[in-house]
Amino acid sequence: MQELLYLEVPTPDLDAVCRWLRDSFVPTVGTKTIAATGFRWTPKADGAAGEVVACVWSLQRTTYLKVFRWADRAIAGETTLVRQLETELRQAFPPTYPAPPEIDLAHQSIFEALGDRYPQTVKFFQKMPNGEADLNRAYWWERRWRSLVKNPQPPQPVLGQGRDRLAQPPTYDLIYVGGALGVVHAAVMARRGYRVLLLERMPFGRMNREWNISRQEFQSLIDLGLFTAAEFEQVIGCEYRDGFHKFFDANNPPQARAAVLHTPTVLNIAVKADRFIQMCGEKLRAAGGEIRDRIEFQRATVLADGVQLEATDLRTDEPCQFTGRLLVDAMGTASPIAWQLNGGRAFDSVCPTVGAVIHDGFPEGVWDHQYGDVLFSHGDISRGRQLIWELFPIEGGAVTVYLFHYHQIHPENPGSLLEMYEDFFSILPEYRRCDMDALEWGKATFGYIPGHFSGGEGDRKVAYDRLIALGDAAALQSPLVFTGFGSLVRNLDRLTVLLDTALRHDLLDARSLESVRAYQSNIAVTWLFSKGMMVPTGRILPPVRVNAMLNTFFGVMADGSPEVADRFIKDRVGWGTFMAMALRAAWQNPAMLLWILDSAGVRDMVRWLPSFVSFTIASFLGWLLGWLPRFARSVQPWLEPRSPGLWLWLLGRVYAVTAGLGRPEARSPNTPPPTAPPAPMATAGPFNKTGMTPRP
């Protein structure tokens, strides 16, 4: 028996495909005989020369087809049959990208409005404690995201600039808009003595995401003094023993199959997200900061001596205004400021991510709560997406389960949360054996996690005069394990030190603030890898393509040192290690290079070259300038007071050759960060001689 064809028919309607094979497909040669799940074909009526068998099956809410030759040698006419079958199937079942319907919630509930289109989603959201509000939120996010992606016009301006001065000195040093990732950084800055205001559109402390991290990464919050080691233990929901990475490879060629990759210290700490956010809020308030929730950002105007922000109080529907020295955009993926700064295209890719907390209901033996699934797939490409699961044990024996895919943003196919949720609730039993009606559901977890393909440090705007973007609004995450939380925590020391320096010296123009970014050249160079995991809109790739690539690369890590895999997934891999892994993967599976070229295209391959060149040069400079951090600390006492701008630039270079290459500068506990001034400095500012509220 020889496999002649394997393809995906992008529809969940298996019966429709079977009917088409039975009633509509007429081979131009040979004889077709109907079978239960396909057909049998012979070149002659008596079948003496062997036969070809076509069968279909359903998995992941899509349909797959395989054609086999049942003979020892090629059969006359089989090539013609296979070509005709593939061509006509593509015409009968083209790719489709459904969008959610327009609904009017004034006359019906969200459940009534979406029940016909997304029956499984509505059924299981009704079982969640806050299901109606969460489904409303998911619908709102998708509608907003689609509007931003599909709108061909320049984004509506929400950020303007004027030459006037504020009528009164700014009330705050920092105004953060967005309370999830924003509150983490806001609390750190408030504890440094700054007057901080945090604005949040939703009730503060409510999260539609769960977070996982490692002890090593969380240490940065302890080093910055935001948390103590004891407080960290209080926000740990669960800590598992090992995490697994495995991609479906039953249909892969031998060179694209791999063993399970074990990463026991990757995302092995489940953080109690709600408690973590609340503690950050408490620390922010304790340091004199303010939190105003149910406040929706409308627009901001940058003036000569501050920022004037206009918003709406959603409790009263009344307008309100706030003034500050600096505005921090932490509004996440759909930030209108980020879209305006980057010409309407804030991101090149996105991970539509859906999931839920499941408290109980899995049969015994389905999952051991001492382990986590970091990245896992149980099937091939499904309707233009390679679906990937994550499962993390959390507090009280519960688990958080996610489903996501890497997605190239396209106006006709922005990426759908609701379609993903329908997949999630339909195929969860395929991933982990369970009775869906027996599961005890907690909160829903969902979002759009963005990615930016960077050719160099300066090709994305994250700053404007008196404004800076933070977290997902700046697309600061890993192309492999997408999470704005992890990226923010890993880079929090860098962002804090640089922003503190800029604020103390009133270096709040766009050019200075562009230094306050968490760009890593070692991450930027890997975007081509994530690009290869996306199915271009309008195309149908071989079903095994993405799984084969993932297994090739992760197989290299599984066969190598555990420390290398740990560093790679935590954005700490260096140039030499990266090149060794890439060359080994290419040697093991040479077709992977052609696959990436096919998925990415020549244009994006050319776009990638500056990233690689930048990484190579930065790595060389990092080796050459190993003395720079020590030199910077030695010249700080006389350089910073005399030339603050030059000092900020030098400080940015220090981080570029350390953290920017995935090598945070090692400092002993008694060594202060390089921004700590030896004594209070007199710098021009709009409030007092230090340019800010005096530090305690």
Please give the tally of structural domains in the chain.
1
Predicted confidence at residue 459, as pLDDT, reads 66
Greatest alpha-carbon pair distance for the chain in Å reads 98
What average pLDDT does this structure show over 606-619? 86
Helix (H, G, I), strand (E, B) or coil at 236: strand
Whether 16 is covered by a domain: the verdict is: yes
Q: Is residue 416 part of a domain?
A: no
Residue 129 domain-assigned (yes or no): no
Residue 88 falls inside a structural domain:
yes
Q: What is the pLDDT of residues 494-522, one digit of tens each?
A: 999 999 999 999 999 999 998 888 777 77
96-121 mean pLDDT: 94
- H or E element at residue 2: strand 2-9
- Count CB atoms within 10 A of the CB of residue 577: 18
Confidence of residue 474 (pLDDT cuts 50, 70, 90): low
CATH of the domain at 18: 3.30.310
Tokens for 55, please give them: 């069968």
**Strands, sheet with 62-70, edge to edge from the N-terminal-most edge strand:** 2-9, 62-70, 51-59, 38-42, 31-35
Domain range enclosing 61: 2-92
Examine residue 346 and state whether it is found in any structural domain, yes or no: no
pLDDT tens-digit readout, 193-215: 999 999 999 889 877 677 889 99
Q: Strand, helix or coil at 473?
A: helix
Is residue 611 included in any domain, yes or no? no
User: Which is more confidently placed, 458 or 453?
Assistant: 453
Tell me the mean pLDDT in the region 58-66. Answer: 97
Maximum average pLDDT range among 39-48, 159-168, 190-199, 408-417: 190-199
User: pLDDT grade, residue 187 (50/70/90)?
Assistant: very high
Is 224's pLDDT higher than 50? yes
Domain for residue 434, yes or no?
no
430 and 60 Cβ atoms separated by less than 8 Å? yes
Q: Residue 220 and residue 659: Cα distance in Å, rounded? A: 12
Alpha-carbon span 309 to 301, nearest angstrom: 6
Task: Give which of 480, 489, 450 is closest to 332, Cα–Cα.
Answer: 450
> How far is CA 333 from each of CA 339, 343, 409, rounded to the nearest angstrom?
9, 15, 13
Please check whether residue 597 lies inside any domain of the structure: no
Q: Please, are residues 145 and 414 in contact by the beta-carbon 8 Å criterion?
A: yes
**pLDDT tens, residue by residue, 380-430:** 999 999 999 999 999 888 999 999 999 988 999 999 999 999 999 999 999
The pLDDT value recorded for residue 358 is 96
Categorize the per-residue pLDDT at 682 as very low, low, confident or very high, splitting at 50, 70 and 90. very low
Quote the pTM value: 0.86
